[in-house]
Amino acid sequence: MAELIEVGAMQLRFLRTKYDTSGALDMFEVVIPPNSRMPVPHHHRDWEETIYGLEGVVSWTVAGKRIEIRPGDDLFIPRGVVHGFLNETQAIAKMLCVLTPGVLGPEFFREMAVALGGPAPPDPARMGEIMKRHGLIPAPSQ
């Protein structure tokens, strides 16, 4: 059964995890509401990420280059490359994410959901600590 995790306004539905693929991959769908973005541009220390557009338009910035992903488009992000995304449209966007190898799992997203889910504004230091502990390295502020 797929696990649904709400991280802020985004929804992630895990389809496969490192646990049921023997570490081969993590695979999840992400639903991004209109006019929203990923909180922190970052890079991955231990895995690559492949994105496949399912619905709407997701605007990515990868190594400083802007790339729009529409249904049927794909994007490969090597480990160590800074990236981030946003949905600048008035429509929901949806994408499939595959992380290889599968070393992240759903735990990171569960922790971030708790960090972003309280009544107080999110604590950037706590979010950075969670990211680093799970192998996501926040990009330096511009």
Domain-embedded: residue 141: no
CATH of the domain at 103: 2.60.120.10
| Domain containing residue 131 | 3-136
**Domain annotation covers residue 101:** yes
Predicted confidence (pLDDT) at residue 36 exceeds the cutoff of 70: yes
Of 122 and 87, the one with more pLDDT: 87
Distance, CA of 107 to CA of 18 (rounded, Å): 11
Report the interhelical angle of 124-133 vs 107-116 (nearest 10°).
180
Q: Is residue 142 part of a domain?
A: no
pLDDT at site 118:
78
Q: Is the distance from CB of 130 to CB of 112 less than 8 angstroms? A: yes
Q: What is the pLDDT of residues 65-110, one digit of tens each?
A: 999 999 999 999 999 999 999 999 999 999 999 999 999 999 999 9
Residue 8 is assigned to a structural domain of this protein = yes
* Residue 17, pLDDT score: 95
- Stated pTM of the model: 0.91
Domain count, the chain: 1
* 106 within domain boundaries: yes
